[in-house]
Amino acid sequence: MSQLLVDVVRERFGSAVLESHAQHGDETIVVHPANWKEVARFLRDEPRAQMNMLVDLTAVDYPEREPRFEVVAHYLSLQKGHRLRVKARIGDADGDDAEIDSLADLWGSANWMEREAWDMFGINFLGHPDLRRILMYPEFEGHPLRRDYPADKIQPLVPYREVDNIEKLPPFGAEEGMSFGRQTHIQSGEED
């Protein structure tokens, strides 16, 4: 079934699909980075695809080749039950020009996934609404999942942060993160 989906994408985008392959029934297409977002939108909106769930978005570092990075998105159609992996290759040997369009306006889940890829690999997602660190602290230098990141690198000391009258420490705002323990509404039968 997913091979038919690859054929639909090839029919629509032609030479923008640089290659495709399958391994153990998992179909993968590699697209030109300039078409990354357009392919994603097509997969979401095309009735034959109905890829309405972005399962994962990440990156892989190949420092020995150029383009250096692969940005990888895994899509799922809940209605049709098919999956597709889409990759785009970006970045020079130093990783300095690693940038690609953000998918955050197409799938809300892409927001945090792209932040993680930026934090860990240094990939810039163009048009992202809030591209900042998500796993490492703001003063952290470098991107620790790059294969040339030195394992013994010493990070700068950061002073202890004292924050009064909020539940969350920066960089998270009160509306971000898990809501465990927060009372955001009164349940029926309770009084003020």
Q: Structural domain tally of the chain?
A: 1
φ, ψ dihedrals at 55, nearest 5°: -75, -40
Instruction: Report pLDDT for 183.
Output: 46
Please choose, from the candidates 134, 71, 68, 61, the residue with its C-alpha nearest in 3D space to the C-alpha of residue 102. 71
pTM: 0.82
53 or 160: which leads in pLDDT = 53
Residue 8 included in any domain = yes
Per residue in 159-181, pLDDT (tens digit) is 777 766 555 556 666 666 555 54
Residue 146 included in any domain = no
Per residue in 77-92, pLDDT (tens digit) is 999 999 999 999 999 9
Asked whether the beta carbons of 124 and 69 are under 8 A apart, the reply is no
Handedness of CA 85, 19, 17, 95 (dihedral sign): positive
Give me the chain's average pLDDT, please. 88
CATH number of domain containing 67: 3.30.460.80
Please choose, from the candidates 8, 15, 173, 184, the residue with its C-alpha nearest in 3D space to the C-alpha of residue 80. 8
Domain that holds residue 48: 2-126
